[in-house]
């Protein structure tokens, strides 16, 4: 997947992408309407947005909403599967961690 958006005037498919902006951990990220939140994050170069209890990074694994590896907090709601959730203008995504606070020290 490319992180570059194809300009509508040179797109051979003829799409007319409508850009949108979300926030990930306070940073603005640009995507297009029709993308899932996971695809917006992947296109931005982010390969993971959750930390497992073992400390390992997690992002998209199955891509169809079965494995729950791609969860994050969206607009204050925890454990949203980003591979299934369409991106919406103004969404606020916060990465999650399952590492216990005492283990993180």
3-state secondary structure of 32: strand
User: Can you tell me the distance from the alpha carbon of 48 to that of 42, in angstroms, rounded to the nearest whole number?
Assistant: 8
Strands 77-81 and 71-74: antiparallel
For residue 86, the domain's CATH number is 3.10.20.440
In a domain, 91, yes or no: yes
In a domain, 65, yes or no: yes
In a domain, 7, yes or no: no
Structurally, how many domains does the chain consist of?
A: 1
Q: Which domain holds residue 69?
A: 18-97
pLDDT along the chain (105 residues), means of 10: 63 79 96 93 92 89 88 96 96 88 50
In a domain, 8, yes or no: no
Give pLDDT, residue 74.
97
Threshold 0.85, pTM exceeds: no
């Amino acid at each position: 997947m490319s992180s570059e958006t194809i300009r509508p005037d040179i797109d051979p498919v003829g799409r007319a992408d409508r850009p949108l902006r979300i926030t990930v951990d306070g940073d603005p990220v640009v995507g297009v309407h029709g993308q899932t939140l996971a695809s917006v994050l992947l296109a931005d170069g982010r390969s993971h947005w959750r930390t497992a209890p073992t400390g390992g990074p997690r992002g998209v694994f199955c891509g169809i909403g079965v494995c729950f590896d791609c969860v994050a907090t969206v607009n204050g709601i925890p454990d949203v599967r980003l591979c299934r959730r369409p991106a919406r203008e103004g969404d606020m995504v916060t990465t999650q961690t399952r590492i216990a606070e005492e283990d993180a020290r």
